[in-house]
């Protein structure tokens, strides 16, 4: 099987290229972005050595599904998806704060709680919780967005007092974050899932706050299965989940947490296939649609052809 790892494209009108951990972003001269969702996978802020076939397609199509379903809550950047792994949308000035929202004590929050902390990003966490318990009210725990290395936790108070984001814009981001999380939670519940936590990124375009990047994907979100959740909590059992957390757990079990001196473990093909299956399962579970695998015969040619055709057609129509 083939995967999109490191492919360099040249699109019509291209002025700038940015290679993120997972996505490659091409800025065009007409104020558009071409975002290619690669099959790279990252954990603990490190890119793993092997690509995961179809992962980028899953991310792109799940994000598209939710961006289209939340346009009534806030404006977003997406215009079109001319290829299974590509989204085209509006170029915005990114706000360098990720809005992380948590409905349950899981992942990073659970690790901090286990270490004895009862405050995360300036937000208090109640005593007496156990891992994967639900918070009384979802908490927002922002992080500064890093181009490289680790994103850093930051409090609302520090964001405002240090002028990282103007107060009016930050309050808009908070409101959008809570409304988007509620919509995502409702949609997940309809599909027998719990949206545990997620993150949103925003940008500014013509003075307006715009939702950018991906939302509610397995890279940016954690999902539990709703059926059996309460019983598993009562019995102290791990929750059955659809997220990237199982990749992190595999790395931890193999001695890697992104710390200095640690070596990335070898990824056997069986584990790569397991990750692919998990991503496809999430797509089908959360959308209710059958996943249609894209043609992997010549990925670079396919993407170049589809994006160029869309841009040419758009130019002609204008």
Could you read off the pLDDT tens digit of each residue along the chain, which spans 318 residues? 588 888 899 999 999 999 988 899 999 988 999 999 999 998 888 889 899 999 999 999 999 999 999 999 999 999 999 999 999 999 999 999 999 999 999 999 999 999 999 999 999 999 999 999 999 999 999 999 765 556 789 999 999 999 999 999 999 999 999 999 999 999 999 999 999 999 999 999 999 999 999 999 888 899 999 999 999 999 999 999 877 778 988 999 999 998 999 999 999 999 999 999 988 988 999 999 999 999 988 899 999 999 999 998 876 666
Cβ atoms of residues 63 and 216 within 8 Å: yes
Q: What's domain 14-93+270-317's superfamily in CATH?
A: Phosphorylase Kinase; domain 1 (3.30.200.20)
What CATH number was assigned to the domain covering residues 96-202+214-246? 3.30.470.20
Which pLDDT score is estimated for 145? 74
Which pLDDT score is estimated for 148? 55
Which pLDDT score is estimated for 150? 60
What is the token pair recorded at 254? 């193999």
Which pLDDT score is estimated for 237? 96
Which pLDDT score is estimated for 297? 87
* Closest by Cα among 98, 283, 87 to 198: 98
Strand 241-243 relative to strand 78-83, pairing: unpaired
Which pLDDT score is estimated for 62? 95
**What residue spans define the domains of the chain?**
14-93+270-317, 96-202+214-246
Judge whether 14-93+270-317 and 96-202+214-246 match in fold.
no
Which pLDDT score is estimated for 171? 98
């Amino acid at each position: 099987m083939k995967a999109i790892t490191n492919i360099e494209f040249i699109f019509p009108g291209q002025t700038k290229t940015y290679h993120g951990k997972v996505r490659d972003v091409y800025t065009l001269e007409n104020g558009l972005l071409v975002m290619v969702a690669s099959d790279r996978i990252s954990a603990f802020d490190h890119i793993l050595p092997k690509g995961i076939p179809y992962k980028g397609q899953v991310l792109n199509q799940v994000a598209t599904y939710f961006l289209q379903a939340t346009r009534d809550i806030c404006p977003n950047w997406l215009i079109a998806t001319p290829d299974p792994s590509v989204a085209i949308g509006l170029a915005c000035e990114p706000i360098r704060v990720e809005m992380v929202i948590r409905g349950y004590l899981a992942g990073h929050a659970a690790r901090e709680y286990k270490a004895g902390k009862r405050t995360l990003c300036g937000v208090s966490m109640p005593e007496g919780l156990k891992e994967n318990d639900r918070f009384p009210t979802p908490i927002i725990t922002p992080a500064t967005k890093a181009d490289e290395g680790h994103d850093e936790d930051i409090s609302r108070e520090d964001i405002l007092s240090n002028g990282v984001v103007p107060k009016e814009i930050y309050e808009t981001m908070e409101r959008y974050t809570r409304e988007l999380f509620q919509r995502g939670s409702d949609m997940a519940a309809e599909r027998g899932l719990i949206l545990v936590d997620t993150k949103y990124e925003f940008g500014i375009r013509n003075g307006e706050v715009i939702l950018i990047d991906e939302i509610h994907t397995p890279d940016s979100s954690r999902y539990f299965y709703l059926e059996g959740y309460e019983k598993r909590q009562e019995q102290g059992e791990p929750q059955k989940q659809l997220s990237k957390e199982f990749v992190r757990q595999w790395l931890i079990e193999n001695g890697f947490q992104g710390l200095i001196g640690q070596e990335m473990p070898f990824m056997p093909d069986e584990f790569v296939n397991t990750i692919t299956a998990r991503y496809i399962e999430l797509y089908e579970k959360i959308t209710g649609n059958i996943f249609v695998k894209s043609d992997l015969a010549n990925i670079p040619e396919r993407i170049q052809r589809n994006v160029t055709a869309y841009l040419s057609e758009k130019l002609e129509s204008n």
